[in-house]
Structure 1
């Protein structure tokens, strides 16, 4: 009975943690660490990669990150640039796939407008309070 429970625990652990471990042991995508042959295309790809956030590291761009996911994203950017795709359409595709958080250049949309409006509103309220407190003197 103890062997069966031990075997069951091992199977459960492999089923749960096997896929995550397998992803980190996969070889990197071909263009994860290799630049494009055309310098102009590589410059476009590099410029775009500097503006995309690594979802695993969160404080680094995909150009700077060594995370496997960032390598896959660099690969996607490079092959799409090599295929002639516009950098902004690649950004839009990545934002659609991973969410707005992936871009360092936030866009105002129905779900993000409060992030832009609330700080402005707070500055206006603080200005009004300061004006009422100190502006009427004299």
Structure 2
């Protein structure tokens, strides 16, 4: 039986149209970027007052996060599964490591947290991509 099918029926229906998918492809990275930027600025101010530089720092972090996330969502499916999983794990590890480093831990702890998360992300994503592609690297849905 083909992935994405059930006995006696064809593919599972796609409840969203193409326009909604295009909108979501923009809204998700922007929304996640705004949450990430707020979190970075909150960690950076250590419970003190909100300043203009703090807000600016959070907006820059949000912009960088959103651009990289959107790029990975757009270009990732065109890459080999190993590269795709490696890029997502590097992004996740760097994002969490940077976020954690804003709270001033020792550098080696921030690096270890980042590497541990990147390793776990790589294993999970590689497994996901490996089980959803054929031997030639074509997606199976």
The TM-score, its normalising length taken from structure 2, stands at: 0.29
Q: Which has the higher contact order (CA 8 A, sep 6+)?
A: 2
Greater Rg, structure 1 or structure 2? 1
- Structure having the higher helix fraction is 2
Q: TM-score, normalised by structure 1?
A: 0.29
